[in-house]
Amino acid sequence: MGPLGRVFRFPRRSRRQIATEVDDEIHFHLEARAEQLARLGLSTAEARRAAEARFGDLERTRRALRESTRRREGRMRRRERLEAIGHDLRFALRQLRRQPGFAVVAVLTLAAGIAANAVMFGVIDRLLLRPPPHVVAPERVSRLYLRQWDEDGGERTTANISYRRLLELRDGGRAVADVAGYLADEFLLGRGDDAERVRGAYATASLFPLLGVRPVLGRFFGEAEDRPPDGARVVVLGYGLWQRRFGGDPGVIGRTVHVQSNDYTVVGVAPPGFAALDLREVDVWQPATSIRGEFGLPAEWATQHNFSWIEPVARLKPGVSAEQAAAVFSVAWARSLAEQLDAQRAAAARPRVLVAPALEQRGPQRSASARVSLWLAGVAGVVLLVACANDANLLLARGLERRREIAVRLALGVGRRRLVGQLVLESVLLALAGAVVGLVLAQWGGSLLYAVLLPDVGVHGELYDARVLAFTAAAAVVAGLLAGLVPALQASRPDLAATLKAGAREGGGRRARLRGALLVTQAALSVVLLVGAGLFVRSLHNARTVDLGLDTDRLVYATIDWRGAAPEGAEARAALDAQLLARLRALPEVERATTSLSLAFQRNITLDLFTEARDSVPRAGDMYFNAVGTDFFATTGARILQGRALDARDAVGTSPVMVVSEAMARAIWPRGGAVGRCLRVDEDTMPCATIVGVAQNVVQSELTTDSTLQYWVPETQRPSRRGSNVFALLARVRGEPAAAVPAIRAALQAELPGDAYANVAPMSELVDPSVRSWQLGATMFVAFGALALVIAAVGLYGVIAYHVSQRTHEMGVRRALGAGAGQLARTVLGEGVRAVTLGIAIGALLTWAAARWVEPLLFGVSPRDPLTYAAVAVVLLAVALLAGLAPARRAVRVDPSEALRVE
């Protein structure tokens, strides 16, 4: 199409016009033919009839011609539209190139907002949206959770059940669903120095057909290999492990690998990323029944209930709803429980089965990190809104600068719709450029975030998958439209031409109001983010400074995986334990060392307790039992509040003693005087153990230590049938715990027989995951809040500076009339401060209203913490003043004569 074609378009024709055109063409033909025949001597009427006869089916042809004309018309119109878009695109790029400074600021602020959203989408997608890989029809697959009420009236929900219970659920639920089970854990693979920790799982043979997964090599194990009491010694390798450790060798099938305590034969390789319903790829799959060989369980283990471990998975039959399935499973569980206990106690427990989504984080046991991540996703959205508001402000300012150009184009007859389209297209282009830059930022920041803050949910690398890219592109387009539409409508207002002619300097009151409103919005949203940041930072600080009763900065713990190499007999075992402890104490890195039967966040033991009078102790909650070596309290740093610690005096054969925690002392003897009393441990026939001391509360399984009721007895006096081995060795080290780990591990490993393996790590590794959600919240809220603050400051500066430049004339006049420098500066600064103050008020109200929902995510700080609010207000006002400073200086320096001479 020529240059004129762009202005004078191919006229669009209606259906009627097309019909007439076709009729005209046929009419002309019939006339011409009739004339030709008449010349050969036919009468006019005969000629007309003959012409029509030669034409054939008139109606059909007419229809065909109309249709084809319409088709052609449509295609031309489409092509024209495409050309128009191409033209607009080139035009927009030219415009952006003309003002690179503006483009850079807009692109960078949008990039920051988009990057935040891309990162958070990546997390949310993995945790809550994306179905588990290789699972066929995942919407019909569910996790089952068992809920019941304790005798204390507490509600307990668990996914871990006994093998027998799994079979009973399977049999009871046959009508509504298939049931399988698995449990993922850490396994040791290989022997000696070659050993590595991998992710392993016990799975019933039914799991693989239930999920619909197919092996990439070999086969999965079958029902015959997974029969109690002992499963076959076969394993299926994860794809990643197969590649990493076996180089993807197909000859791996039939090879023998040493997993945990036994040798297994490889029978297959699972597809890449397969993790059943979990997030982290499983490296080794073992038959569920092979667990007997690993844990040394008795032959009748599969028919007992005292070992709750496996997690049930169900695939609902077609047409069965989750509620129906839950009802059927609940009945099955109630029956199973009645068999285990008695009918009355089973009924009192009100057993109920929850049929929950396949994704764990969508179920009842959602982690705190997942909840915080959802919040952060919302926060990322707010950051993007702030960036959009900023972009809109910049575009508004630019609309003013381009008044002349736009007026000229309107005058030339460019339609308003086309003009708005072009302006919005510019804004969308900016946002897309922002998305590209944002993805680079996201890649850099995202991998950092995933690795450091979300290791427990197993989100790894691979940020740039199609879903994240699609989301990012969509977010960019929406942001571009959001930011661009209002400024475009403003800029293309037809009355602009009139304003232009009058030579007005300001864009009119409405525009100024609009920009003011955008500023207020930015400030309000910044307040929301900054208050959130403040609250999470305080939570993290509080969580970090909780007195855990454990000096985690100095402690290293060690546990032993015996892998079948534990010495036979209690005496030999005790001798080895003593040898390990002695070795530990001899190390120069170690200041003190002790043993412990339980380990915070890893293993807790509860036993029955009886008073002197052999009544059972009133249940004030679970009371945790621990048997510890001498020096336990000095090593861990738990303070003794009354009486004495356990020490060398409490040797084998001496009269039994114990130390109780402060909370437990208060729970049993509210009026005090615990020291000197005695309690019977485990059975009412046991000798009564005298309480010799009260210690501070020590962290057990959650960070709040107030409710942990604990008591410690000397390892030498432990009821012998309880906990047959020392579970952990604790060492108080000199200097940095992480630095001492290798030496300690080497020393312990040297003492160990056979395949036994020493795990050694700083104690903080056990505690950190429980602080992680606040750490995540604090880091990300601060990052996002700072981002929003910077964007808002840039916006504020831009708007004020722009106003000043527009009002140079006015400033000059006021200066000439005798206004002081301070007065002018106040005028300029006041503008920004007013907008920000209003924003702070609105933002504070919003945050106040939202406080209820953040409360459960905080730790030791009220969501309406006045200190946080005040600090945020001060920061924002300071930013407003700083942003206005440079423009104010410029306003004051205006030379009156210069300003008045302009125009």
Partner 1 sequence: MAESLQLLKGTLDVLVLKALSWGPMHGFGIAAWIEQGTAGDLAVEDGALYQALHRMEERALIEGEWGVTDNNRRAKFYRMTRKGRQHLAAETAMWERYARAVTRLLQTA
Report which of 297, 281, 187 is spatially closest to residue 231, judged by C-alpha positions: 297
Judged by CB under 8 A, the residue of 6, 9, 12, 72 near partner 1 is 72
Neighbours of 462 (CB within 10 A): 12
- In terms of CB distance, is 56 or 653 closer to partner 1? 56
- Report, in Å, the least distance between residue 518 CB and partner 1: 50
- In terms of CB distance, is 19 or 477 closer to partner 1? 19
Instruction: Give the separation between CA 865 and CA 849, rounded to whole angstroms.
Output: 13
Instruction: Give the separation between CA 265 and CA 248, rounded to whole angstroms.
Output: 17
183, two tokens: 């449990």
- Report, in Å, the least distance between residue 65 CB and partner 1: 5
19, two tokens: 């019909």
Residue 490: φ, ψ to 5°: -60, -50
Using CB atoms within 10 Å of the CB of residue 194, give its burial: 0 to 12 exposed, 13 to 18 middle, 19+ buried.
Answer: exposed
Judged by CB under 8 A, the residue of 65, 89, 816, 886 near partner 1 is 65
- Report, in Å, the least distance between residue 6 CB and partner 1: 20
Under a CB-based contact definition with an 8 Å cutoff, are residues 209 and 279 in contact?
no
Helix (H) or strand (E) holding 688: none
- In terms of CB distance, is 76 or 408 closer to partner 1? 76
- Report, in Å, the least distance between residue 1 CB and partner 1: 13
Residue 356: φ, ψ to 5°: -110, 160
- In terms of CB distance, is 60 or 501 closer to partner 1? 60
- In terms of CB distance, is 54 or 889 closer to partner 1? 54
- In terms of CB distance, is 21 or 810 closer to partner 1? 21
- Report, in Å, the least distance between residue 61 CB and partner 1: 4
Instruction: Give the separation between CA 467 and CA 504, rounded to whole angstroms.
Output: 49
- In terms of CB distance, is 26 or 167 closer to partner 1? 26
- Report, in Å, the least distance between residue 36 CB and partner 1: 7
- Report, in Å, the least distance between residue 504 CB and partner 1: 50
Which positions ≥6 away from 419 have C-beta within 8 Å?
A: 406, 409, 410, 488, 492
- Report, in Å, the least distance between residue 434 CB and partner 1: 41
Which positions ≥6 away from 26 have C-beta within 8 Å?
A: 55, 58, 61, 62, 65
Instruction: Give the separation between CA 667 and CA 688, rounded to whole angstroms.
Output: 19
Query: What is 783-802 written as a DSSP string?
Result: HHHHHHHHHHHHHHHHHHHH
Under a CB-based contact definition with an 8 Å cutoff, are residues 713 and 667 in contact?
no
743, two tokens: 């030496």
Report which of 324, 285, 300, 283 is spatially closest to residue 176, judged by C-alpha positions: 324
Residues numbered 5-34 forming contacts with partner 1, rule: CB under 8 A? 21, 24-26, 28-29, 31-33
Q: What is the 3-state secondary structure (H, E, C) of 125-185?
A: HHHHHCCCCCCCCHHHEEEEEEEEECCCCCEEEECCECHHHHHHHHHHCCCCEEEEEEEEE
# residues near partner 1 by CB under 8 A: 24
Judged by CB under 8 A, the residue of 37, 47, 69, 201 near partner 1 is 69
- In terms of CB distance, is 60 or 901 closer to partner 1? 60
441, two tokens: 């930022």
What are 316's strand-pairing partners? 177
- Report, in Å, the least distance between residue 60 CB and partner 1: 7
- In terms of CB distance, is 21 or 751 closer to partner 1? 21
Chain position carrying tokens 């065909």 = 64
Q: Of the listed pieces 7-15, 65-73, 80-88, 476-484, which binds partner 1 according to CB under 8 A?
A: 65-73
Instruction: Give the separation between CA 863 and CA 871, rounded to whole angstroms.
Output: 14
- In terms of CB distance, is 57 or 495 closer to partner 1? 57
Instruction: Give the separation between CA 415 and CA 643, rounded to whole angstroms.
Output: 90
Instruction: Give the separation between CA 723 and CA 597, rounded to whole angstroms.
Output: 7
- In terms of CB distance, is 31 or 855 closer to partner 1? 31
- Report, in Å, the least distance between residue 51 CB and partner 1: 8
Residue 323: φ, ψ to 5°: -65, -45
- Report, in Å, the least distance between residue 37 CB and partner 1: 12
- Report, in Å, the least distance between residue 30 CB and partner 1: 8
- In terms of CB distance, is 72 or 893 closer to partner 1? 72
- In terms of CB distance, is 33 or 335 closer to partner 1? 33
Q: Is 501 in the site for partner 1 (CB under 8 A)?
A: no
- Report, in Å, the least distance between residue 59 CB and partner 1: 10
The 228-247 contact track toward partner 1, x by CB under 8 A, reads: --------------------
- Report, in Å, the least distance between residue 62 CB and partner 1: 9
- Report, in Å, the least distance between residue 421 CB and partner 1: 29
- In terms of CB distance, is 24 or 223 closer to partner 1? 24
Residues numbered 35-64 forming contacts with partner 1, rule: CB under 8 A? 36, 54-58, 60-61, 64
Instruction: Give the separation between CA 119 and CA 373, rounded to whole angstroms.
Output: 10
Query: What is 73-109 written as a DSSP string?
Result: HHHHHHHHHHHHHHHHHHHHHHHHHH-HHHHHHHHHH
Residues numbered 73-132 forming contacts with partner 1, rule: CB under 8 A? 75
- Report, in Å, the least distance between residue 2 CB and partner 1: 15
Residue 373: φ, ψ to 5°: -60, -40
- In terms of CB distance, is 42 or 500 closer to partner 1? 42
- Report, in Å, the least distance between residue 3 CB and partner 1: 20
- In terms of CB distance, is 31 or 150 closer to partner 1? 31
Which positions ≥6 away from 829 have C-beta within 8 Å?
A: 881, 884, 885, 888
Report which of 284, 406, 361, 430 is spatially closest to residue 128, judged by C-alpha positions: 361
Residues numbered 713-752 forming contacts with partner 1, rule: CB under 8 A? none
Report which of 124, 117, 130 is spatially closest to residue 374, judged by C-alpha positions: 124
Under a CB-based contact definition with an 8 Å cutoff, are residues 313 and 180 in contact?
yes
Residues numbered 297-316 forming contacts with partner 1, rule: CB under 8 A? none
- In terms of CB distance, is 36 or 43 closer to partner 1? 36
List of residues contacting partner 1 (CB under 8 A): 21, 24-26, 28-29, 31-33, 36, 54-58, 60-61, 64-65, 68-69, 71-72, 75
